[in-house]
Amino acid sequence: MITAQLSYSVMPSPVGDVLLIMSGDELTGLYMTPHPTELESQGYERDDEALADVRRQLEEYWRGERQEFDVPLAPRGTTFQKHVWEALLAIPYGKTASYSEIAAQVGNPKACRAVGLANGRNPISIIVPCHRVIGADGSLTGYGGGLDRKTVLLDLERRALVRN
């Protein structure tokens, strides 16, 4: 049996260091601090080169030069979570959507709370843009990375749209 290479990389960003995790050629995680620990004991090896394309695309995003990512993704979660994460990918760069809008998009308009929980368990933050989900009244609501980071990411996208 052939097993996929398990790789990770840590890179600086405007929201602090981010941890990238890859299985084979698919990104399975992008985490802000605190990072999952003990990766080596789980068979992961630090390999910045294996994650070079992801790192390059994120650097372009930080500079406001990239609005969409072209990275093979393999988030692990329930079927419902995966539907929510797919809906997050449809939120345009620099725009936001409410939890109720995402709930309606995944076919369960009353599942706002479940959407919030799935959003909070998104293992590939930034690329799967959970930071673009806001409250129905337009307020910034919970974000696993902290509201300060959510604000930085939304401002970064808005500024890039104004420049371009």
Edge-first strand order for the sheet with 6-11 is 26-32, 18-23, 6-11, 45-46
> CA 112 to CA 131: how far, in whole Å?
16
Out of 18, 112, 130, 134, the active site residue is 130
From the list 110, 109, 146, the residue with the least C-alpha distance to 131 is 146
112 catalytic residue (yes or no)? no
Non-local CB neighbours of 147 within 8 Å, separated by 6+ positions: 140
98: tokens are 């409410």
The catalytic residue positions are: 130
